[in-house]
Structure 1
Amino acid sequence: MTTIAIIGAGPGLGAAVARRFGREGFSVALISRTKENVERLAAGLSAEGIEARGYAADVQDRAGLGAALAAATEDLGPIDVLQYSPVPRRDFLRPVLETAADDLAAAAEFSILGPATAVRQVLPGMTEQGRGTILLVNGASAARPNGNVAGTSVAFAGESAYGQMLHDALAERNIHVGQLIIPGAIGGGDPLYAPEALADRLWAIHAERGPFRTTVGAGTD
């Protein structure tokens, strides 16, 4: 059985990715802060013939996030694909001159320590299986700092650096790490940013195992 764990799963991109991978025979672990939301999403996917389960965890609660991933592994089997794509909190999106050290610390916990916690949880299983994919989903500020969203710009830059290093270090284990940069509003009317189109891009990153970074509208870096 192949399993994808989607951290930050919701009714937009998360649901589209679940359906895209589900069509390929994956079971799906849906992880977000609100248990009712992921259980509702899992029920809808199950009605479509996709094996799915929901788990509640806050990415800023490292123990809780690790426990959710452990439970998903116990229920669905080893996690073959990990997607980290929670939506940043509003207080990470303030101008740089309004951003304090505590704001940066919280953003880093969300976008650097969160993915690091998730990766460390699933990496032993991927290594044992001899395969795996880690998908990081970020906005444009991951590649180009934006002073209007200072917390996320700083934290996404750190997440990008961590992901690039993982990409280089894990290639010899047949574990691919890829980042999708989305420089526009998901579902905002542009077909490039439709959840289903982005899910197709994420499937291609997993299946084709190209360079670390793919930018919607610009290809790979």
Structure 2
Amino acid sequence: MTTFAIIGAGRNLGAALARRFGREGFDLALISRSQERVDALADDLRAEGLTARGYAANVRDPEALVEALDRASQELGPIEVLSYNPLPQKEFLRPLLESTVADVRAAIEFSVYGPLAAVHQVLQGMRVLGRGTVLFVNGGSAVQPVQHFAGTSIAFAGETAYAEMLRQAMADEPIHVGQLIIPGGIIAGHPDKDPEVLAEKLWRMHAERGEFRHFATELEEQPY
């Protein structure tokens, strides 16, 4: 059995993704900063009959992230699908003129160095499998910069550029790269942005392997 690794496995989108992919037979590697929280989520998923384990890693620590992914592949099986969807920190959402170099550096570590380290770790395993999917989840500021959210606007732009280049690099290989843009953030109960609705959309992106970029809603909503 192959593994679905969720970087940013929380109780909202992360949990919905785990359940959606778990129903399709994937083992689940749950990665987040808090070992206690991912262990609790893994316990819940196992109680539902799914195979899940939690791994603690801060995405701003590339070495810890690589170690977590390595352990997951050894303990659960090769990683076929990787989803990068950690929730941005509050300091990344400051207005441009209030943002410091440290704020922006942290955002870039979060949104550029983190996914680069994660993809580099799992890519060879996907090549050995002969298939794979990398999914990026971002707010609207990834494609429409907003000065009120300087850190995410700058760092998400870098993540978007990396994701697009990765898609180009994988064009001749059986590895799909996709990006889901969620303007305004995840909203429970929303017809288009509820976690379960988004998880279904991400599943289809993996299964159908269509266009690179998808939108949960139109960008007229406030980007995030």
Residue matched to 2:150: 150
Q: Counterparts of 1:189 and 1:45 in 2: how far apart (Å)? A: 21
Kindly provide the amino acid, as one letter, of the partner of residue 2 in structure 1.
T
> What's the offset of the Cα at 1:106?
1.0
> What's the offset of the Cα at 1:102?
1.9
Q: Counterparts of 1:147 and 1:188 in 2: how far apart (Å)? A: 26
Listed as ranges, the gaps of 5+ residues in structure 1 are none
> What's the offset of the Cα at 1:130?
1.2
1:42 and 2:42 matched: yes
Q: Deviations over 1:87-137 (max 9, x none)?
A: 011001000011122211111000000000000000010011111000000
CA RMSD of aligned residues (A): 1.1
> What's the offset of the Cα at 1:188?
4.2
Residue matched to 2:110: 110
Kindly provide the amino acid, as one letter, of the partner of residue 109 in structure 1.
E
Runs of 4+ in 1 over 4 A off after TM superposition: none
The TM-score, its normalising length taken from structure 2, stands at 0.95
The TM-score, its normalising length taken from structure 1, stands at 0.97
Q: Deviations over 1:130-155 (max 9, x none)?
A: 11000000000001001000011000
Q: Counterparts of 1:184 and 1:215 in 2: how far apart (Å)? A: 11
Listed as ranges, the gaps of 5+ residues in structure 2 are 220-224
Kindly provide the amino acid, as one letter, of the partner of residue 110 in structure 1.
F
Kindly provide the amino acid, as one letter, of the partner of residue 119 in structure 2.
V
> What's the offset of the Cα at 1:184?
2.5
Q: Counterparts of 1:123 and 1:188 in 2: how far apart (Å)? A: 33
2:183–2:218 contact (8 Å) kept in structure 1: no
> What's the offset of the Cα at 1:217?
2.4
Residue matched to 1:54: 54
Residue matched to 1:92: 92
Q: Counterparts of 2:171 and 2:26 in 1: how far apart (Å)? A: 22
